[in-house]
Structure 1
Amino acid sequence: MELIDIGCNLTHDSFDHDRETVIETAREAGVKRMVVTGATEAGSVQAHELSGHWPGVLYATAGVHPHHAEEVGAETLSVLAELHRETDVVAVGECGLDYFRDFSPRPAQRRAFERQLELAVDCGKPVFLHQRDAHDDFVAIFREFRPHLAGAVVHCFTDTREAMLEYLEMDCHIGITGWICDERRGHHLKEFVHEIPAGRLMLETDAPYLKPRNMKPKIKTRRNEPQWLPWIAGTVAACRGVSPDQLAEETTATAERFFGLEA
């Protein structure tokens, strides 16, 4: 079984002491390729640099998370544009809206989201999207740009069935994380994840966040790692009524097409 983790924060400081081991352990577990998320200007540069040390294994996104929307000015956009000239940088983002935390003012979030969608149109790369408690504003902005975008994945989807169907109607892909393994918050996803078409579903850990809570035996760490993507895959496969091998084959092929990776 070969999997692609389409979203992991491997530049996070929790990996500073054992990053190479984490990557090797993931590969031994069948997670052969990983997309390292860029969520700030500096983080995007670091994601690109890290992927450069692991050609064909790691890839990067470059963007600014809505938590840092106030940082998106002309200089940051110029840095991001330069990064998107690199072949290992495969998507614009993580970008979008987050009204749950409101770490940046909402007008600033909307402006930063629009600027990064414009960047995606210009560079011809797909977008890696974040949306939390901001569905209506998110869709209103995104619909304007969608016809001009190469592709879009709603990363770490945790929303309702209705929201998912609206994203699918806009030809978006859906990224599923260990949230679906959380009996407290993610149980609702199990009821409709089977409705995502095989060619639109991708898997991610969002490591070091969202460690699957249903792993057995329990592992005594709060840090999530890409090596546990197969556990998420098994949970999703059971919900979809397919084998883990079939799900791995389908989601790997989908990620290869979406990010333009070699098979």
Structure 2
Amino acid sequence: MQLIDIGVNLTHPSFEQKHEAVLARAYAAGICQLVLTGTSLPGSEQALALCTRLDPGGERLFSTAGVHPHDASQWTSQSAQHLRALLEVSSVRAVGECGLDFNRDFSPRPQQEKALEEQLALAADLQLPVFLHERDADQRLLAILRDYRDHLPAAVVHCFTGDRRALFGYLDLDLHIGLTGWICDERRGTHLQPLVREIPAGRLMLESDAPFLLPRTLRPKPKDGRNEPAFLPEVLREVALHRQESESSLANHTSACARAFFGLPVLPDAPLDDH
């Protein structure tokens, strides 16, 4: 059984000097390919550099490049040009992480919307998929996406934590859904358990969002409390349980979906389809 982790923050300081060990544990746990998340222009450059250094063959590590809504206040007239240059590198497979966060509002909402719209325009121009962030902003995000969706090849709402209304709004717009260890959290994630059955195969992908969102159902827990891609099988287990399907079936179709979404190469020992 092979899994693809579509969202890992490998540039996070807690992984510094540990990249090789983290990846070795991930590969040993059956994570065959990973997409490293870029959340700022410098962070996107770092993610790309890690891909180049740690996977010179370009078969296992890929990245996104974008500006997170928390950093939208840093978006300037030069940002789009800088981002375009990053997106033209072959191992960068999606625009993002970009979107709206009306939960924390670290950047003013008008600036969040401007940065998002300019990144969506870039994705449409370059015909790249989009890696989206949304918290407490599903209706506004949907309103903005409707103007761009016909011009985008694909988009995924990563780390989906929303309600039924948000989920069906995204599915109606033909978006993909990324699930994390949030579903393993008995304090705030139980509402996702019945919802995951509603996500069609071919629209669902799995992600660790490491080092964040350590699955609370994981046993034994790491002493440092840090999530890793190697723990993605716990998310797989929990999602399979609530979708009432086998772990191998879920691994197969979520990995096939991720491979198609990001245009990832097929590895010799990886599943080819969702059958």
TM range (shorter): over 0.9
SS at match of 1:92: strand
2: CA distance, partners of 1:37 / 1:234: 23
1: CA distance, partners of 2:222 / 2:26: 16
Q: Please give the per-residue CA displacement for 1:59-103, whole angstroms capped at 9, x wherever unaligned.
A: 000000000001111222111101111111000000000011100
What is the CA RMSD across the aligned residues, in angstroms? 0.8
2: CA distance, partners of 1:18 / 1:199: 33
Match of 1:176 in 2: 179
Match of 2:269 in 1: none
SS at match of 1:199: coil
1:198 aligns to 2:201 (yes or no): yes
1:225 aligns to 2:242 (yes or no): no
Amino acid at match of 1:160: D
2: CA distance, partners of 1:121 / 1:164: 23
Segments of 5+ residues of structure 2 without an aligned counterpart are 267-275
1:68 aligns to 2:75 (yes or no): no
- 1:34-113 mapped onto 2 (5 Å cutoff): 34-53=34-53, 54=55, 55-113=58-116
Match of 2:7 in 1: 7
Match of 2:214 in 1: 211
Match of 1:22 in 2: 22
Count of residues in correspondence between the two structures: 263
Match of 2:271 in 1: none
2: CA distance, partners of 1:22 / 1:217: 17
2: CA distance, partners of 1:87 / 1:117: 19
2: CA distance, partners of 1:217 / 1:11: 25
SS at match of 1:205: coil
Displacement of 1:217: 2.3
1: CA distance, partners of 2:165 / 2:79: 35
* Runs of at least 4 residues off by over 4 Å: none
Match of 2:161 in 1: 158
SS at match of 1:202: strand
Match of 1:134 in 2: 137
**Percent of aligned pairs with the same amino acid:** 53
Structure having the larger proportion of residues in helix: 1
Displacement of 1:138: 1.0
Amino acid at match of 1:246: S
Match of 1:257 in 2: 260
2: CA distance, partners of 1:155 / 1:145: 18
